[in-house]
Structure 1
Amino acid sequence: GADHWHTVVVDECHRLAADRFDAFAKAVRPSVLLGLTATPERSDGQPIAPYFDSRPDGSPAVELRLWHALDLQLLAPFEYYACDDATDFSEVPWDRPGEREAVANLVTGNDVRAKLVINEWRRLASNARQSRAIVFCVSVAHAEFMTEWLNRAGLPAACVVGTTATEERRRAPQRLLSGELCALVTVDLYNEGIDLPMVDTLLLLRPTQSPVLFQQQIGRGLRLVPGKESCLVLDFVGQHRAEFRFDRLLSSLTGLSRRELVDGVENGFGSLPPGCHIHLQRQTREQVLQGLRSLTSQNWRRLKTELQTYAALRGRSAIRLADFLHDQALELEDIYRTGTGQGRSGWTALKRDAGLIVAEPGPEEDYLSHRFGDLLHVDDPRRLDVMAAVGSRQRSSPALHAEEALGVQMLAYQIDGRHEQAAGPEAFLERMKGHPAIAAELVELSALLQARSTLGAHPVPGLEDTPLCLHAGYGAREILTAVRWLTASRRVPFQAGTLSLLSRQTELLFVTLDKSEGYHDRIAYHDYAISAERFHWQSQNSAGPDTPGGRRYLDSATNGWQFQLFVRPRKGEAYRACGPVTLESAEGDRPMSIVWKLQTPLPARLFREFSVLRGV
């Protein structure tokens, strides 16, 4: 029966996720299930963690990564050379059907590349004939082609593939060890599940984006035996599109983050384990750098793979949003993809898709994680404190005081987007408590936003009773909530460019500088900063000297009305709270052209952004 076995040991346990082994793994229920693998990350991205009990942080019970084993001198050090290769792989459909066939068509029968391989081997090895090499090819035809070339060049080689006779396959490693051969040329046969300690040279003639395959092939040469000083790895890279994932391969070899890889490629790899060496020839170096720098534009599938690989390198307990972004040279906008037209967005969503969160999701997890993309503009220190407090708040926390409640209400309206969805602050907190992963994400996000904010907590003059901070960025809903136009029960739509608050005798001026998107030509107003202290503004088309709105502006020196300026560069971006303004001059009719004087001068950064010369 399923409970018969006390202990089951599964070697190469990364195969468990395959359909034919999955049924077995689910059928047996031993007291101890022990899995062993050198490549826990499957090439198809399927996780194997659900088959085992992990540590509290989700990482394996015992873990020893390649670079750690090299540090401990448990493996032979490697000398890795990425060799310039003119073969054009730019049209290969990587990670999709047809990849292998496309590569095979480019390399099989490619005499120029074959000559390059032999010449580089002879140049970089102390004595190629005395090597014990494995040559990894992409197809049987490619392996036969390279075997013929090597033998003609005086480098005895045997082609060993799946269809090779059993006795010949059995004898091949011994022939390599004895020196009768200096190379075994193969396809997939020696990727895993075989021990060839005599191998001291690897020729990688099959380009791949798979870190699993890459690490499997490298691992064939790292067995440490007496007399073996190192393993020479010659990787014939070829020419690729900018999005080819060199970083994924180099990271699987070194454990370095993308940022560290960029530094290594530019300045040399100075932090490798003892005896290890990485050298990128000139064209390859330029290509790798271009690829590393092109990764700022990420699709979701690629991000998921990035995170899975990163978690495998770091261990799940070390996975923090800040570290992932820094080490992978990513931006928050790569994770939070609001407005990109792509469905998945947010740190929690990415971790769940990568298999790092296995607990049942809350009912609104996807929605809330996605909506956090509308918080990336927040740089008000007090608002960021509120965000962190909301994420950290426990069920037993005391009731909110009025200022806290207003801050939470601003957060609720900004996250929920549509007015009819927004609840009161207490109800919003309850929703967050039902989503612990989302609450933790909010804490991490607020810390990152706090780190990139340069603002002090200076209230907006004239609006000191609101949570608004001078020169901070806000969405329109946040501003309307801060001045109590929107409340938990009052959900009044707002679309106009101005809002008159009669009880305050204050008018809010909402200005969008670039009106090329979403505005009709007839309302393409001309607004810009003249100087750090003066701002040119055109009223709405309905305002003139003889209208109530126009008189309110013209008579503002005596009628008690105040005006607050909020400016954003373009639609979809945050408004900057520029503070109170007073009338300096006005002319025209429907619309009126008004020059406002700012009570607090614009910082140089905002003046450059809002200036009439901003496009120059």
Structure 2
Amino acid sequence: MPNEPRLIVNTQTESLLQELKTSLETCRSFYFSVAFLNFSGLQLLLEALKEAETAGVEGKILTSTYLNFTDPEALRKLREFPLIESKVFVTDKTGFHTKAYIFEYDDCYKVIIGSSNITQHALKSNVEWNVELISKQHAAFMDRVISEFNDLWERSRRVDDEFLHDYTELVRNLKETVTHQSLVYEKSTYVTPNSMQTRAMENLDRLRGIGEKKALVVAATGTGKTYMSAFDVRRERPKRLLFVVHREEILQKAKETFEYFLHNFHVSFGLLTGTQKDLDADYLFANIRTLHNYYESFDPGTFDYIIYDEAHHVTAPTYQEVFDYFDAGFTLGMTATPERGDQQSIFEQFDQNVALEVRLHDALEDDIIVPFHYFGITDIDEVDLRDVSIDDIDEMTRRLKVNERVDFIIENMKFYGWDGEKRKGLGFCASREHATYMAEEFRKRGIPSLAMDGENTGVERREAIRRLESDESEIEFLFTVDIFNEGVDIPSVNTVLMLRPTNSPIVFIQQLGRGLRKYEGKEFLTVLDFIGNHAKTFLIAIALNGQRYYDKESLKVAISTGFAHLPGATHIEMDEISKERILTQIDRESFMSMTYLREQYQEFKRVRAGKTPHWLMDYYTYENAPDPVSFIRKKNTYLEFVAATEKDDHLKELSADETFIKTLKWLSSMLPLKRSYDFALLRALAHKRLITTAEAHSEIEKWVEEVPEVSVEHALCYVNQEFFDSGMRERTPKLVSYDGERAERTLLFDKLLNNPEYRAYILDVLEYGLLRYEREFGSRYYGTPHFKLYEQYQMADAALLSNYRKSHSAFRGSGLLQNGNDYFLFIDLHKEADIKESINYNDKLISRAQFQWETPNSTRQDSERGKNILHNRERGIRLHLFVRKYKQIENGFTEPYIYIGEGDALSWRGEQPVEVQIALHHQLPEQLFTELTEKV
């Protein structure tokens, strides 16, 4: 072992938790001394402690009653480990602040001393400093550490039944005192927006600043959308406000929220419902059913600000009449599920202005939801699902109904525990029969449970939820098939059981999300997933990875690092059998095969209750939906993919129109967008016959904070096909003509737009491209070249994004491309074995801040190009680095490069090629560095 001291901090690739688990795997014995110990932290160590005990490792854990922060449940749990002794230093006037972890090996000790207690945040996400030292046995330092520990151990009290009873009662009484006694005087003016709400309001300000009158906020239930809208109203101070809801039961709560935040506004608040009609109120809160009967009582311009809660309903006819009638100064839509309606896109209703979109990773990072602790547990051998189709629900149910499995599930529930006084759990099952079976078996084993499914009435469901949430009720579990996937709010849920094979990452995240709502006293959600040997087990990894765009390599690295890129105290742990099973399946699967893509498509269709996803925008609205660009890469356009998959003769007829399909193919080839300018112009011209250069500028600024005139003009020239080569012009119908002052759509574009079906497909691609760009790039202007750090790019993108004014097809085929003073270095980190290189290239990341690159073979140090590279700073040359791990991961499909920013030449050696050491302007994120350098 190394003797140099080492600083351990919590980052994306390392944490104290990781170090403790690794040390427990190899030590002979261990001794922990921490000021306090919470169950949130102990749960993360349970598996490692169990394995250590299996290996015969003995341990002592010392904590204290300092400020009564230590969790009685954690102390109770430690008593279940026969080889672990636990004691508590009872603090009175003497404080207790130690944070030390000691591991004994055959010939030395490892000591970690620093700032971390055993809590989920201290072990994983807090800013903590812990120093690791390796010391030989009987060294003076180590003797002192062991002596101090033993002294504290002797002065401490053993955790016996009497102590646990007394301490538990003390903590419970203290909690009740705090709960019923207001210790802080809180005024609404002191409540400040969280990061999500702040970002939303900043974007709303930007959109209003450029003259937009509508905007949409997409965020999950429980993330504070109503508060955000109240904050924005408090800032805008409209004279008249209309707040519209779909469900009357949330109307009063919304009104109370606004009254709380706007208590000093000197405005009247009223309701418009079946029983109350305060039509003259300044701030009116209405349900849509009643408003639909009364909206013509108001002048269209009555309200300065209108808010539509659950805005995904606005495409319905009842809403449409109201929505189209009013002409407010500003209209805000808020939704958790922006599903496309039968009439038209909700995004179109709000002029494609998405002020904010909060997905699971965003919510975890912003601390809007609680972290989850996921444990992937290999299912028992008696459950064999290798040859069962995911669609054969009856057979799946039959094989899952195993009494030994129920015992195994309960055994693991008891081992991992839960957060809170009462266990409140949801179990997701394969079928109604399976849910009924699980509820019955749990009841037999003394765990009061109910089964719920789509055949239960709304009243029955609400009563079951009430009983689960009530601390006085005996019900601990609700077993269900799919009715609680989304749209149901059960904040106090602290346990989720995944009891069937995952067949959809979308459904997996929806089910996980049922337990992530914040709730008083709830620190985390426990998720137990019983992983069997089904052929599609690897879908779990795709769901947990949480990134729509992935390849085999990035997925394997995520698994091997425990999904370290997930923010905060969220923890994912799979046992070795499950990991190996998933990694093997990923190696075997071809993510770009037609078979796999069809399966993804069909599963997405099932999630939508069998409704065919005709539009790209259908995918945009679901977190963890398949990436439809994969379908486009396979069949050139999404329309052609659906036509082939559904064997739809009408879609095939649409595809037969050469001009239309060529247009759709060209637009689709630009997905995913790397700049919004071109699609912004095309969308504007789809709605207006011509636009001036000034109007073009305004259309682009709807999507970015600023854009220089030269880039606007370049985009106009691009859609005018000025940078196309002859082959590209032949393949691409001309939609736009530009004369230097204005852009006008062509007769051909007119003809396409006059066909309702063609128009719908064209607008769908444009809408999807722009909104996906908004999601991935935001509204920031990245300069010229328009590169965002750590985004994916192809070589030809560099021509577009650097305003290259010659044929863009010239940007390919070489690892070094140039536009003026911008040099673009495209680098493969691993060369294919079958490529005969004339030189043994040695391009690699030396560290997160330094890159080693070898120039093209012909480059000499004294050539003009060589001087520009080696003396780039003095000569005003910008070196842009793009790297990829492999050129191809799946046969026939070229991987994109990742932009890692600019760099400057530090030193160099050799000729033809020249080996150059490059200092990166931006240190690589640890997770990306690991992904690019680690072999799995």
TM-score after normalising by structure 2: 0.34
Higher relative contact order structure (alpha carbons within 8 Å, sequence separation ≥ 6): 1
TM-score by length of 1: 0.49
